[in-house]
Amino acid sequence: MSNPREFLPADAVRPERVTPPEAVAVGLDYPSTAVGTVGQITVEYVTSLGQNGQTLAQRLLGAVEPPYTEMESFFGVAGGGVTVVVAPLSGHNDGSAGAYHYGCDFASGGVLYLDATFASTTIDPTDLELSLYIAELSEAFMGAQGTGWGCGSSNGEGLSRYLAEVMPPPGSFPAWGVTGPSWAAAGFPDWVSRTEGTDRDYVSTGCAVVYLYWMHFLGFSTKEIVAAGGATLSANYQALTGKTTAYADLTAALHGLTVNSDDPFPGRPVTNVRQANSIALVRQTPGWGSIPVAFANGDGTWNITNGPAPEFIGGDSWSSTPGVRLIPGDYK
């Protein structure tokens, strides 16, 4: 196959490779060994990676189902069969060659190739592998949903990187995947009103990621943002807000801010604090169970202290338990 959908560092080029006959026979790019299946997800490792590859794949197998289930909720569609292959894409086994797959749905793009990460020394290898998996898995869901997110285009690539940042445990996303500063350095060109037909431009992708964090900052949940779809970010904005001034509003929101990350927006003031250090909120997203994640200082600031990046709070989970903090804007 050709023209893979890439998750790669800026200016990196994936080298051409010859697929061995034994891999071709089973429809894969590498000779691989399966470690197990959970739900509709089969996890394999390239056999040449040996025991390190097997151990990483087994750990990944234990982590792949919750984000899959969560994406079914986000995109509002049932997922299809997926094969996840831990592979020596970089030759360094540190995740630096990202990931790739073919096609923008489960039928044509349901085989996800992830760079092995067991040699990573800066990010937990399983967490980093999970981030790469989420980036590619989300793109198969985009095609299945069919509402305008383009897995080979700037809006869809921005969404895949955004999800790969916010869904795994904090700190899982590789630094080379951050694209927001590239958009800022280019002078904030308007990739809101139009979509670039590539997933390899850090400028247009950076615009998309910053836009998505802005929507979250405005109070929209990830599920609402994803469900709104849109062939352009401005169409997504109109579906969410009813307004047609997305680019102007985004650049106005960035006035006075320094874009040195994908999320340059400050925390919003908190108005529903009953008592400092006394509000515990519980994350109740599918697959993760209920996890205490945050508390209020009483001065309008909140911080995450536990659990994967939260998405939604169910009910009024008030508690006198101290020590749990929440970032406002992440919750509806």
250-259 pLDDT, tens digit each: 999 999 999 9
pLDDT over threshold 90, residue 87: yes
Averaged pLDDT for residues 87-107: 94
Averaged pLDDT for residues 246-269: 89
Is 149 exposed, middle or buried, given 0-12, 13-18 or 19+ CB atoms closer than 10 A? buried
User: What is the DSSP-derived secondary structure letter of residue 310?
Assistant: P
Q: Residue 6: which pLDDT band, with cuts at 50, 70 and 90?
A: confident
Q: What pLDDT does 219 receive?
A: 85
Interior/surface letters 222-258, b for 16+ CB within 10 angstroms, e for the rest:
bbebbbbbbbbbbbbbbbbeeeeebbebbeebbeeee
Q: What pLDDT does 197 receive?
A: 95
User: What is the DSSP-derived secondary structure letter of residue 313?
Assistant: B
pLDDT over threshold 80, residue 90: yes
For 161, phi then psi, to 5°, come to -75, -40
Q: Residue 15: which pLDDT band, with cuts at 50, 70 and 90?
A: low
Determine how many CB atoms are found less than 10 A away from the CB of residue 52.
Answer: 15
Nearest to 199 by CA among 2, 7, 14, 13: 7
Q: What pLDDT does 305 receive?
A: 42
pLDDT over threshold 80, residue 130: yes
Averaged pLDDT for residues 15-25: 59
Give alpha helix (H) positions in the chain.
Answer: 21-24, 50-61, 65-75, 106-109, 125-145, 154-166, 180-185, 202-217, 222-228, 233-241, 246-253
Averaged pLDDT for residues 299-328: 36
Q: What pLDDT does 235 receive?
A: 98
pLDDT over threshold 60, residue 299: no
For 68, phi then psi, to 5°, come to -60, -50
Q: What pLDDT does 10 receive?
A: 74
Q: What pLDDT does 321 receive?
A: 33
- Give the residue carrying structure tokens 């949940």: 221
Q: What pLDDT does 18 receive?
A: 59
Asked if 283 contacts 290 with a C-beta cutoff of 8 angstroms, the reply is yes
Whole-model pTM: value is: 0.79
Q: What is the CATH number of domain 5-146?
A: 3.30.2010.30
Where are the domains positioned within the chain? Answer: 5-146, 149-266, 267-332
- Kindly report which listed range (38-42, 192-196, 322-326) carries the lowest average pLDDT score: 322-326
- Kindly report which listed range (11-25, 169-183, 187-201, 305-319) carries the lowest average pLDDT score: 305-319
**Between residues 230 and 308, the one the model is more confident about:** 230
pLDDT over threshold 60, residue 231: yes
Q: Residue 269: which pLDDT band, with cuts at 50, 70 and 90?
A: very low
User: What is the DSSP-derived secondary structure letter of residue 218?
Assistant: T
CB within 8 A of 212, min separation 6: which ones?
158, 159, 162, 225
pLDDT tens digits, 133-178: 999 999 999 999 999 999 999 999 999 999 999 999 999 999 999 9
**Between residues 24 and 40, the one the model is more confident about:** 40
Q: What pLDDT does 23 receive?
A: 54
